[in-house]
Amino acid sequence: MTAAVESGICAGRVVIVTGAGRGLGRAHARAYAAEGARVVVNDLGAALDGSGASGGPAQDVVDEIRAAGGEAVAHCGDVATTAGAASLVRTALETYGGLDTLVNNAGFLRDRMLVNLDEDDWDAVLRVHLKGHFLPLKHAAAHWRAAAKAGRAPHACVVNTSSGAGLSGSVGQGNYSAAKAGILGLTMVAAAELAPYGVRVNAIAPAARTRMTERTFADTMAAPQEGAFDAMAPENVSPLVVWLGSTASSGVTGRVFEAEGGRITVMEGWRPGPSADKAARWSPAEAGGAALELLARAEPPQPVYGAR
């Protein structure tokens, strides 16, 4: 990491990154700091399955940022609780006097095929990913709305973290796929609701080597030979995340981007395809015939992760 700079595209901005103790979140926090942001590094310090807690990972990243000349503070609360999310926003306001960007990134995995997936594992994964996006967003948005109503319109940004699993599904990850798909819906609603207050909301679907992916997709996430471009390094995703959290991305909201290696893709989401209208009620047989005819003209669906 290079030393923090005063002329970076995020100079002076206050940025929260959740799940920033390792992997993508750590890369994002360091990249924001390198561009001049003051960073609140949130991480509960949980194990890969969400068990346990430790302040070590968040503080380690803070120490790395400070050693490089940047500004950062640790927050180790659970962002999937009202108290933890409120405390997170309050930490930014009390430490740095404001909040400009929220990067929602916290999460963990409990992978099972659907017939073996326990209710507790379903609830836990939806809680950390989906509720863990909603609550920090809610508390940050309340602050920004109050500022806008007081005549201090913010130039605020939210970057949510979805996944290819949320876009196309992933075998053995029904809970994770559902949560990540929910984040996309939340992103669209938040972009529309918060636009009047000067808040932009976008999402990324990253592919990178982290604790979660290096085990699930071991072959594709393996590190390359020395000297070769490491396409799966989490640091490859962070430049887009930093840009989305800066004033340079003004006017960009309600968008979803895939980011992997050196590739950035704008996702176009669900759009109407072939359609038929009888202008009257179909019989089941007629509806089936029409559906088959429409499917013959439609684009094939994207392959499901794990079934390629």
Report the pLDDT value the prediction gives residue 29, as an integer from 0 to 100. 98
pLDDT digits (tens, 9 = 90+) for 36-51: 999 999 999 866 665 6
Report the pLDDT value the prediction gives residue 55, as an integer from 0 to 100. 66
pLDDT digits (tens, 9 = 90+) for 133-142: 999 999 999 9
For 16-25, 91-100, 217-226, which range has the lowest pLDDT when averaged over its residues?
Answer: 217-226
Q: What is the mean pLDDT of residues 163-172?
A: 94
Mean pLDDT value across the chain: 91
Q: What is the mean pLDDT of residues 218-243?
A: 80
Torsion sign across C-alpha atoms 64, 68, 73, 77: negative
Is there a contact between 39 and 29 (Cβ–Cβ < 8 Å)?
yes
Which of these, 19, 64, 13, lies nearest to 39 by C-alpha position?
A: 13
Report the pLDDT value the prediction gives residue 301, as an integer from 0 to 100. 84
CA torsion angle 140 144 149 152 (round to 10): 150
Enter the tokens of residue 152: 């201090």
Burial letters for 279-305: b for 16+ Cβ neighbours within 10 Å, e otherwise?
eeeeeeeeeeebeeeeeeeeeeeeeeb
Residues identified as active-site:
163, 176, 180
Is there a contact between 121 and 174 (Cβ–Cβ < 8 Å)?
no
Q: What is the mean pLDDT of residues 71-95?
A: 98
Q: What is the mean pLDDT of residues 263-292?
A: 95
User: Residue 214 above 80 pLDDT?
Assistant: no
Report the pLDDT value the prediction gives residue 307, as an integer from 0 to 100. 45
Report the pLDDT value the prediction gives residue 165, as an integer from 0 to 100. 94
Is there a contact between 139 and 88 (Cβ–Cβ < 8 Å)?
yes
User: Residue 268 above 70 pLDDT?
Assistant: yes
Considering the entire predicted model, what is its pTM?
Answer: 0.90
DSSP calls for 157-200 = EEEEE--HHHHH-BTTBHHHHHHHHHHHHHHHHHHHHHGGGTEE
Report the pLDDT value the prediction gives residue 250, as an integer from 0 to 100. 96
Determine how many CB atoms are found less than 10 A away from the CB of residue 233: 15
Q: What is the mean pLDDT of residues 218-241?
A: 78
